[in-house]
């Protein structure tokens, strides 16, 4: 099967129009996906932040206990 050259030449305007059409579809898809996912990510991010703060607190508390000085008082 041989392809025959078309009589119409491709111009920069044709290429630009095709690129704009493709990027328009991609932008619409991303916008729809963002609308669906964003409400789910906000609570998940807040929960992740709370877990991070709690883990940092507990690890710091453990380290503080290990490195603290113990003072022993003896009565004579």
Give the model's pLDDT for residue 56. Answer: 94
C-alpha–C-alpha distance, residues 31 and 12, integer Å? 28
Rounded to two decimals, the pTM is: 0.45
Give the model's pLDDT for residue 6. Answer: 61
Encode the chain (76 residues) as per-residue pLDDT tens digits: 556 666 688 899 999 998 888 887 787 888 888 888 888 888 999 999 999 999 999 998 887 777 777 788 888 7
Closest CA to 67 of 75, 76, 59, 57: 59
């Amino acid at each position: 099967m041989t392809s025959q050259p078309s009589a119409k030449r491709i111009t920069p305007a044709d290429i630009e129009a095709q690129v704009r059409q493709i990027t328009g579809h991609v932008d619409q898809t991303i916008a729809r996906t963002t609308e669906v996912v964003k409400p789910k990510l906000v609570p998940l991010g807040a929960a992740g932040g709370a877990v991070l703060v709690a883990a940092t607190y507990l690890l710091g508390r453990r380290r503080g206990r290990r490195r603290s000085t113990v003072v022993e008082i003896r009565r004579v």
